[in-house]
Homo-oligomer: A and B are copies of this chain.
Amino acid sequence: VNETPSNNLAALFDPQSIAVIGASDDVSKFGARPIHFMREGGFKGPIYPVNPRGGVIQGLTAYKDIRDVPEPVDMVIVSVPGKFVVDAASACAESGAKSAVIFSSGFAEVGEEGLLWQEQLRGIAAQSGMRIVGPNCMGMMNSASRAVGTFTTIFGQAWPKVGGISVISQSGAVGAYMLVMGIERGLGLRTWITTGNEVDVDVSDCVAHCASDPGTDVIVAYIEGAKKPEQMRQAFETARLNGKPVIVMKVGASEVGAEAANTHTASLAGADAIYDAVFRQYGVYRAKSLEDMLDVAQGCSIGHYPASRRLGILTVSGGAGVIASDAAAEQNLELPALPAPAQKELKDLMPFAAVRNPVDTTAQMVNDPPLFRKNLEVMLEVGGYDTLLIFLATIGLSATGLLDELVAMLKDIAKDQPKALMVLSMLCRPEVKRELETLGFLVYEDPTRAVGVIGTMRNFVDEFERPPQGQLPTLPATVRPVPGHTLGEHAAADLLRDAGLPMAPGSVVTSADDAVKAAESFGYPAVLKIASPDIQHKSDIGGVKLNLQDAAELREAFADIMVAAAAAQPDAKIDGCLVAPMISGGVETILGVNRDALFGPVVLFGLGGVFVEVLKDVTFRAAPFDVAEAHRMIREVKGYGMLEGVRGAKPADVDALALALSTLSVYAAQNADKLEGIDINPFLVMEQGQGAVGLDAVVIPRSETDVD
């Protein structure tokens, strides 16, 4: 098991002893509910009510002060008015409590004073080591121990099934909604936590904890905005390497959405495309809806994943088979045909059936459990499908003994085939669904949705199997930091070349002799451009000469440019001329760096021309990343085919491109505090084996006022 540095949240996620400040006998009060629910649920550890009046609360001895409680507890629940919270938190820290969950609202979400209180809470956490959740949160719940540090009334009505799914939410109400949806679907939960205003414990800390928590198999997180992007990335990577799926609903994708997110929390919402890139980078599944999130979580929670992309479809309806086949194609799942002898075997049993894959038995199968079993065995044992989608129509609604026989048969099959993933699509009475799920089947009413879950589960396997991030490229000894002023053209190219990027050679020369000398160092043809900070449209004034074939042409061009520049802009400061090799061919791409307000330097890749200008066909990665990640990034753009070669062109040198992107990411990360942005445009990727070369670049330092 990979671990991130301990963030000391065990006492919070699985508290053995709990105190409640603001405890009460009146269960309409927030402070009363945790005690009530824990006693109803059977929490086994000591519970210490704290109330200035002392006495007995809900049958338990109450303490007037948290510092009077006879032991330092794992978790204190704080449910007092906002203005008393800082004092209460101090007292908790003094008592030696390991964590505090603060329900109280009236903090950053309200105004200045609350913001100040939050800073004080942050200080208490930092100094004492006591971890603080909230304020303005709905708290936490541990399903197995029945530790309930929340005031949501759900537990008055139902308890979640105990299982391996941990749910983390930045929104209390959405967290509660997911919890109830989860309970209604019979999801097996391990822990549930909402993080509120996040003065200390944030969503990244919680993901990190669950990523290393042996009892958590699946991590579900509702995220409005990350506060600790570096920790978030580490937590995602730990989860991936530990084979735990992270299923995220990240909201605020729309501008309007982002605005609403800002009014709702004090979160800083990074640009959505960057989040998207980070999720891809670490194999996080971004759910399309709450429902989708729980569908996938439920699938992953059964503990075994599709061993391959090979899917077998067994159906009582040809039409449903086609629906499932379409969905499989959408999910990049394969539908290999059943081997011919197996097809024959099934055809002999069911002359009317289609037996290739989908195997369409017609309705006959559900009326004949042994026949159904035979189909399953042939598909799993002879067909070698490790995953089956089984469409059973409405049999689960039937009230006949036949259904019991079918369920009994499925129970046997599940025992005989423990490695097979069998997903049922059918209509069921709730108790039938629950029973089938208990046997290890997944059950979804909609066949498209069922296949979607299979595809997403298989994608997780691919992500789990990717190795950890590899060695980053080492920058050459010549590397220099980003200077404090904007670098154009040739100075930017020099800086990036020194950092290990393949930039076209070129030098600024002040005489025709020097131009020839420079050109001879890299060979003809050459290009010559006026070098002047004052002249913007160099071509327009005759300041650019292309495709110069020899020294004579170069000399003539130098003289012409000088004359033209003097004529066009007599007052311009002239540094001389830039001489460079004339390079053409290759696939035009763009490499860039942008400083994201949240994630810091982010590397952009896109194809040039219309791909960027019309289609916005670009992708991102947070820096730094290795060459393998750069390869994945390159393959994400829609125009990737350009690099594979079109109209008979040979494939481009994608290795050189990937190395350049990874190198750029390392340089950007090393200069994170100094860098605003870099553009290398165009960056020409030549034929395979011929490398790549940047022709032009700009480097923009972070302005003084921005630097924190």
Contacts and interface: CB of A to CB of B under 8 A. Distances in A.
Interface of A: 110, 154, 157, 169-174, 176-177, 180-181, 184, 222, 224, 249, 251-257, 259-261, 263-265, 288-291, 316-323, 325-330, 335, 352, 354, 356, 358, 360, 363, 393-394, 397, 427, 445-449, 609-611, 613-615, 638-639, 641-642, 646-647
A260 B335 CA distance: 11
Contact of A290 (B261, B323, B325, B330): B323
A288 B448 contact: yes
A154 B325 CA distance: 26
A263 B642 contact: no
Contacts of A261: 322
Contact of A260 (B291, B325, B449, B615): B325
19 contacts: A154-B394, A171-B320, A172-B317, A173-B317, A173-B319, A177-B320, A180-B397, A184-B427, A251-B323, A251-B326, A253-B330, A254-B326, A254-B330, A257-B326, A260-B321, A263-B354, A291-B449, A609-B610, A615-B638
B329 A394 contact: no
A177 B394 CA distance: 7
Say how many copies of this protein the assembly contains: 2
B641 A319 contact: no
A238 B253 CA distance: 38
Tell me whether chain A's interface is mostly helix, strand or loop, or mixed: helix
Contact of A646 (B154, B176, B263, B613): B613
A652 to B, nearest CB: 13
B174 A319 contact: yes
A394 B646 contact: no
Given A177-B320, A177-B393, 15 more contacts: A173-B363, A180-B394, A180-B397, A181-B427, A184-B427, A249-B323, A251-B319, A256-B325, A260-B322, A263-B356, A264-B318, A289-B448, A610-B646, A614-B639, A615-B615
Nearest to A330: B254
Given A397-B157, A449-B291, A264 B173 contact: no
A360 to B, nearest CB: 7
A647 B641 CA distance: 24
Contacts of A609: 610
B427 A177 contact: yes
